[in-house]
Structure 1
Amino acid sequence: MSLAEQVLAVNNDLPIRTDAPVHSGKVRSVYWLTEADSARLIKEKGYDVAADAPLAIMVISDRISAFDCIWHGEGGMAGVPGKGAALNAISNHWFKLFKENGLADSHILDIPHPFVWIVQKAKPVMIEAICRQYITGSMWRAYSKGERDFCGIQLPEGLEKDQKLPELLITPSTKGILEGIPGVPAVDDVNITRTNIDDNYQAFNFQSPTDVDRYEVLLKEGFDLISAALAELDQIFIDTKFEFGYVTDAAGNDKLIYMDEVGTPDSSRIWDGPAHRDGKIIEQSKEGFRQLLLSHFPDPDILLNKDRMPEREALARDNALPTEVLLAVSKTYTDIAAKITGAPVPLSANPKAEIIEILSRDYGLID
């Protein structure tokens, strides 16, 4: 089997029994199970959720997204070998650590295969929270142009690119388009302040003002836990994105949980410690791929300017990246996953066939 055939690029065509449309995002596809299958699995597997909780099968892919576009390589390689399994392995590791350390649960109930999660439906908090320990990326670009107010936080003068910040900063933005919140434009991914959240907590799907405080504690504790664990591996946790939601457990208690993914090369920046001490930055995350794209194309403004999205989409569609580029990205993902989890990333010759067999044999979900 060729390398291109080992890449799981299309993940929304599995014969998983569902009576709802498959939701396919940039990287994952979600199959909502029927009421009967959800109830059966909750009972059979003893999941700690309400008896009538909707469950879903979430299948990750090897697709790679950057600058809101999906990129592909030469020879029909429509993704990055090992990327999906690496992302899931890293998230699984951190979610488990969060739970063991008494932080909060996640939406994951079961892990049938390296590409697959069984998840419970959560009511999402409509915030993407970025925790930043260093000034880099979009924050540095804005700072270098004179901006000093970030999500209601005033940054001091005289900061330099890639410098460690005086303290961990939380810079939240909206998840989706939220209407009718004073001072918050109704557009996706717009920066907001802690005051915006406090004054309109219900609009962001928080159940109480104390849950806003809890969310901030979970952000800092989650960041600090990952940062400390990476430091033991001589890696530096630069920034990351967290998402939260509510679920109900078997006893009927509502819980604020971590969801989506955590501490992965897709949602975080991680720098190599030894290189950093030598004055170099080696990205152990997707940021390296972003930087490569910015230098690969003659007009990087296409990738940075949201007003040029049609040109950007054409760039991604019409340009097959060199195979060695995608293999280098693969090495970044699989190496950091092995470092974090202490085990090599399980690579599959035919992930789709494996997923179908396991979901049929052990879960009775294939028609």
Structure 2
Amino acid sequence: MSLADKVLAVNNDLPIRTDAPVHSGKVRSVYWLTAADSKRLIQEKGYDVAQDTPLAIMVISDRISAFDCIWQGEGGMKGVPGKGAALNAISNHWFKLFKEQGLADSHILDIPHPFVWIVQKAKPVMIEAICRQYITGSMWRAYSKGEREFCGIELPEDLAKDSKLPELLQTPSTKGILEGIPGVPAVDDVNITRKNIEENFEAFNFKSADDIALYEKLLTQGFDVISAALEKIDQIFVDTKFEFGYVKDSSGTDKLIYMDEVGTPDSSRIWDGEQYRAGKVVENSKEGFRQLLLNHFPDPDILLNKDRMSERENLARDNELPESVLMNVSKTYIDIAEKITGQKIVLSDNPKAEIITILKEQYQLVD
């Protein structure tokens, strides 16, 4: 069996019973269950949600996206072996820790397979909540060009690249295109200030103005929990993205929860502590892959310039990356997942067949 066969690249063609179109993102696909199946599972499995809550099966893939494009390798490798299982294992670990430490629940109700979550429908808060502990990446690029204000926060003059910030910063941006918010352009992923959120909290899907402080508290607490755990394995939590949403519990009460993924190499920067103390940044996250792409192609501006999106898409479509590149990425993801969780990541020979069997036999979701 070739390595390419072990990669789950296409995850939107599983025979899961659904009466809605499958929604596919860059990495995950979502299958909304029928109302009857949702209700049956809530009763059979005793999930702590309202009886009429819509449920979905979320299947991760091994696809790798960077600079808003999906990349592929030689020999028909349409993804990175072990990446999906590693990402899910890390998210599962942090979500569980958050719950144990009394922070907030997540959208995950059940984990039938390393690639699969059963999730409840949440109403997302339309904010990508970024927490930064160090100045690097896009923030450093802007800072080095003279920018000092980020999301309404003023930074001091004397910061060095990759140095620790004076305090943990929250630099939110819009999730999706939001129309009609004064001072906020109607484009995806635009930086916003706390004032923008306070004055338009309903447009961002907050139920009340008080929930802004709760979201900020959950952000800081979530960051601190992960940061402290990573410190124990000598890894530095540099920055990360959180997403939040609202769900109803079994008594019908709204609650704010963590959703999407948390603390993964896809959504965060994680640096090796020993190397950082020696003056070197070694990435245990997707940032290493991004840097590799910037160095690999002769014109890196294509990857950084949003006005050159069509050229960038062609670049990703027409260039197969060396297998060694994808295997290095695989090692990064698997190694950090095993360090964080203390568990071995086992590569499945045929993840799709395994998923179908489990969902058919244990959940009766495949005809």
Confirm or deny a common fold (TM above 0.5). Answer: yes
**How big is each residue's C-alpha offset from its partner over 1:192-246, in whole Å with a ceiling of 9 and x where there is no partner?**
0000001110110000111000000000000000000000000000000000000
SS of the residue corresponding to residue 239 of structure 2 reads strand
- Distance in 2 (CA, whole Å) between partners of 1:41 and 1:74 is 41
Q: Secondary structure in 2 aligned to 1:203?
A: coil
Q: Which residue of 1 aligns with 2:235?
A: 235
Q: Distance in 2 between matches of 1:340 and 1:20?
A: 36
Check if 1:19 corresponds to 2:19: yes
8 Å CA contact 1:248–1:255 kept in 2: the answer is yes
Task: Report if the CA contact (8 A) 1:9-1:78 is conserved.
Answer: yes
User: Counterpart in 2 of 1:313?
Assistant: 313
Note the C-alpha offset of 1:252.
1.1
Q: Which residue does the alignment assign to 2:81?
A: 81
Unaligned runs of 5+ in 1: none
For these two proteins, the number of residue pairs brought into alignment is 367
Structure 1 counterpart of 2:78, one-letter code: A
> Aligned runs of 1:211-360 on 2, under 5 Å?
211-360=211-360
Matched, 1:110 2:110: yes
Q: Which residue of 2 aligns with 1:124?
A: 124
2: distance between equivalents of 1:31 and 1:329? 28
| Alpha-carbon distance, 1:277 to partner | 1.1
- Map 1:54-69 onto structure 2 (within 5 A): 54-69=54-69
Whole-Å separation in 2 of the counterparts to 1:189 and 1:77: 30
Letter in 1 for 2:314: A
1:35-184 matched pairs, under 5 angstroms: 35-184=35-184
Partner SS state of residue 72, structure 1: strand
Q: Which amino acid aligns with 2:120?
A: Q
Asked if the contact 1:114/1:346 (under 8 Å) is kept, the reply is: no
**2: distance between equivalents of 1:289 and 1:179?**
34
Give me the identity figure in percent.
82
Query: Letter of the aligned partner of 2:144 in structure 1?
Result: S
Rounded Cα–Cα distance in structure 2 between residues aligned with 1:68 and 1:180: 25
SS in 2 for 1:167: strand
| Matched residue SS, 1:166 | strand
| 1:282 maps to amino acid | V
CA distance in 2, matches of 1:167, 1:96: 26
- Whether contact under 8 Å (1:244, 1:257) holds in the other structure is yes
Aligned 8 A contact 1:130 1:172 in 2: yes
Cα drift, residue 13 of structure 1: 0.2
SS at match of 2:171: strand
1:28 deviation in Å?
0.1
Q: Distance in 2 between matches of 1:306 and 1:181?
A: 22
In the TM superposition, what whole-angstrom CA distance separates every residue of 1:238-274 from its partner, at most 9, and x where no partner exists?
A: 0000000000000111100000000000000000011
Instruction: Return the alpha-carbon distance in structure 1 between the equivalents of residues 288 and 344 of structure 2.
Output: 21
Q: Which amino acid aligns with 2:146?
A: G
Gaps in structure 2 of 5+ consecutive residues = none
C-alpha separation between the residues in 2 aligned to 1:217 and 1:277? 30
Q: Which amino acid letter does the alignment assign opposite residue 358 of structure 2?
A: I
Q: What secondary structure does 2:320 align onto?
A: coil
Residue 283 of structure 1 deviates from its aligned partner by 0.1
Question: Residue 94 of structure 1 aligns to a residue in which SS?
Answer: helix
Code of the residue aligned with 2:5 in structure 1: it is: E
TM-score (norm 1): 1.00
- Once the two structures are TM-superposed, the CA of residue 278 in structure 1 deviates from its matched residue by 1.0
Contact 1:133 1:239 in 2 (8 A): yes
Q: Matched residue of 2:106: which SS?
A: coil
Matched residue SS, 1:159: coil
C-alpha contact (below 8 Å) 1:105/1:258 kept by paired residues = yes
* Separation in structure 2 between the aligned mates of residue 237 and residue 345 of structure 1, nearest angstrom: 22
Q: What amino acid does structure 1 have at the position aligned with 2:40?
A: R
Structure 1 counterpart of 2:74, which letter? E
**Distance in 2 separating the partners of 1:48 and 1:96:** 15
How many angstroms does 1:346 deviate by?
2.3
